[in-house]
Each structure stands twice: as C-alpha cells, then as structure tokens.
C-alpha cells in the first residue's frame, strides 16, 4: 500500500530521495538481535521478490553493544524461519558514520529513536530518522514495534506481523515516490 497520509516530515524525507538510483535503509533497535535484523530480513525478501536488489541497501544495527557479532536471537530466527526467512545478520552497534552512509534510519520504538537523535551529528542527519510506526497501516493498535526479548512466542509473532505490514508499506511508498513505479 502506498501511504498517501504518511506524516509530512516522512513525506519530505522520502521526497528528498527523488532521483536517487539507490535507497539505503538502516533499521535500528536496542539489541540488534530481535526486531531490527528481522526488519532487515523482511524488507530484503520483499526487495528480492520484486527483483529490485540493485535499488536497495538494507542493513540493521543496535543502539546497545551487548551482543556484537552474534546472530539474531534463536527465538527470532525460529519464528522467521517458519515464514520462510533465514536471518543471517551479525549484530553491530549503530555509529555516527551510519548517518553518512544511509538515507533512512528507522528506529523500532521511541527509546531507540531518542538514542539516535542524541547520536545524530547534525540537524540534516537527524532528518534521516523516521520511526518504523510511520509505515504501519492505520488499522494497527500499535505505534511502535514492541521489544519481544522478555516475551513469549506471541511477542515474536506480533513483531513479524508488524514488520510484514510496515516493510511492505515502506517498499511501496518509497518505490512510488522515488522511482514512480511499483
């Protein structure tokens, strides 16, 4: 779904990408072992299905440094695998240079967003931050991607449901705005 009612700041960020050959997206959560590597896997799968790999760079990172080098949490990998996704990202911490490298920096919740705003090296860099919830379909009851780390299976399934919705909307909205195609 192309989001026409995406908030004005997000609309301006996406409009600023017009004319680019490639869009680079970095998903960010706290640990980089549950939500953001799953978001990376979900968006990359959508990109691959659309044969659009030459137009996208998709990566993820964490604001924390607890799990650097690790594969995603085994529970996240198991739930993703049931949906046909193999998550192979190795955890890394977000850094100031990511604000140069990426066009869109997408936090999963407001705490991740706050930490990214603190890290942003300039006002221009800060404009690259756009909450994942900006891409939720309006019908959802959530306005962030809840941390599943201390939750059970339902928490992981909820994360994947929210990410499926948001990544499809992100893909469609960016594709339509930047390249005028689907």
> Can residue 147 be called a binding residue for ligand 4NP (CB under 6 A)?
yes
> Can residue 120 be called a binding residue for ligand 4NP (CB under 6 A)?
no
DSSP for the chain? ---SS--HHHHHHHHTTTT-S-EEEEEEESSSSSHHHHHHHHHHHHHHHTT-GGGEEEEEEESS-TTTTPPSPHHHHHHHHHTT--------B--TTHHHH-SEEEESSHHHHHHHHHH-SSHHHHTTB--GGGGS-TT-S-SS----TTS-HHHHHHHHHHHHHHHHHHHHHHIIIIIS--
Q: Which of 14, 26, 34, 105 binds ligand 4NP (CB under 6 A)?
A: 34
Stretch that binds ligand 4NP, among 25-33, 48-56, 98-106, 160-168 (CB under 6 A): 25-33
> Can residue 39 be called a binding residue for ligand 4NP (CB under 6 A)?
no
Stretch that binds ligand 4NP, among 15-23, 27-35, 81-89, 123-131 (CB under 6 A): 27-35
> Can residue 35 be called a binding residue for ligand 4NP (CB under 6 A)?
yes
Which of the following is catalytic: 73, 109, 147, 165?
Answer: 147
Q: How far is the CB of 118 from ligand 4NP (least distance, A)?
A: 17
> Can residue 66 be called a binding residue for ligand 4NP (CB under 6 A)?
yes
Which of the following is catalytic: 29, 34, 91, 167?
Answer: 29
Q: Which of 6, 13, 14, 29 binds ligand 4NP (CB under 6 A)?
A: 29
DSSP bridge pairs for 27: 60, 106
Per the annotation, the verdict on 167 as an active-site residue is: no
What the block records as the tokens of 126 is 């800060």
Residues counted in the chain: 182
> Can residue 33 be called a binding residue for ligand 4NP (CB under 6 A)?
yes
Catalytic positions, written as ranges: 29, 35, 147
The residues of the shown chain that bind ligand 4NP, judged by CB under 6 A, are: 29-35, 66, 147, 149
């Amino acid at each position: 779904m192309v989001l026409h009612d995406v908030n004005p700041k997000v609309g301006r960020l996406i409009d600023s990408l017009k004319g680019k050959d490639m869009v680079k997206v970095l998903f960010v959560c706290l640990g980089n072992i549950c939500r953001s590597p799953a978001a990376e896997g979900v968006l990359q799968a959508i990109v691959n299905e659309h044969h659009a790999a030459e137009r996208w760079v998709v990566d993820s990172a964490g604001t924390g440094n607890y799990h650097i080098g690790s594969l995603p949490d085994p529970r996240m990998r198991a739930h993703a695998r049931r949906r046909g996704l193999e998550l192979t990202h190795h955890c890394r911490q977000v850094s100031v240079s990511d604000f140069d490298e990426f066009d869109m920096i997408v936090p999963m919740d407001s705490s991740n967003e706050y930490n990214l705003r603190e890290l942003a090296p300039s006002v221009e860099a800060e404009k690259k931050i756009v909450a994942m919830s900006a891409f939720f379909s309006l019908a959802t009851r959530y306005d962030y991607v809840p941390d599943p780390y201390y939750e059970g299976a339902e928490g992981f399934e909820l994360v994947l449901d929210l990410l499926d919705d948001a990544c499809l909307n992100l893909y469609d909205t960016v594709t339509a705005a930047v390249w005028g195609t689907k």
